[in-house]
Amino acid sequence: MAEHEVVCLIGASGSGKSTLLRCLNLLEPVDAGRIAVAGEEITARGVDVNRLRRRIGIVFQSYNLFPHMSVLRNVTLAPQKALGLSLRDAEARAGELLERFGLAEKRDDFPDRLSGGQQQRVAIVRALAMQPDLMLLDEVTSALDPELVAEVLNVIRELAEGGMTMLIATHEMGFARDIASRVCFLDEGVILEQGPPAQIFSAPAEPRTRQFLDRIIEAGRL
């Protein structure tokens, strides 16, 4: 992956999209093979996983906000405890990000007072507050009600325009076509086919890819 690139992972459930993302963050044990991020081999022995994870943000399908903390505290915790920022600096940084993504009014609320879309935006802000070099988004809209999907996708679009390097596992094919610089089709744990979205979505080379896309079109999702 090149810097500023936005790569979308598509494929059926169980094809390995989430596992790939979780491996990149070493949340999933890597059994074999090597992974290099920004020129550093992260699967090497003795790699400081905490330092590595600070550079890679991940957003989960189910938000995973900390329910016992306010929105602001959710966002400031890691910058303060992992990066060593003072509380004041962490709050300034968090305040700016919350403002930018229209969440300033929610800063003192607890996650249970927020809609799914708002929770997911907070989760994105929480990851951004670490100022990562790379963002991993794991089906971030899959748990949302349809009318809330757009607000989250808009945030991601804004990030892409801002030059954030992102790896996105998604079922939103229309979104992938719009935003991706490259699309990878995963099947049974391997990248079967990849290329620019125009090529993958209009003229897939692999029969499996075609089959997958046909089913998506049938379901009216493309």
Residues that bind other proteins (CB under 8 A): 25, 27, 49-51, 53-54, 57-58, 60, 62-68, 77-78, 81-83, 110-113, 116, 119, 126-127, 130, 143
What are the tokens at 127?
A: 């990851």
Are the beta carbons of 7 and 1 closer than 8 angstroms? yes
Residue 12 vs 52, nearer CB to other proteins: 52
Shortest spacing between CB 73 and other proteins, in angstroms: 9
Residue 54 vs 210, nearer CB to other proteins: 54
Residue 77 vs 104, nearer CB to other proteins: 77
Specify burial of residue 198 (Cβ count, 10 A radius: 0-12, 13-18, 19+).
Answer: exposed
Nearest to 3 by CA among 129, 162, 130: 162
Give, as one character, the DSSP assignment of residue 133: S
Shortest spacing between CB 46 and other proteins, in angstroms: 16
Shortest spacing between CB 97 and other proteins, in angstroms: 14
Shortest spacing between CB 49 and other proteins, in angstroms: 8
Nearest to 35 by CA among 18, 47, 45, 23: 23
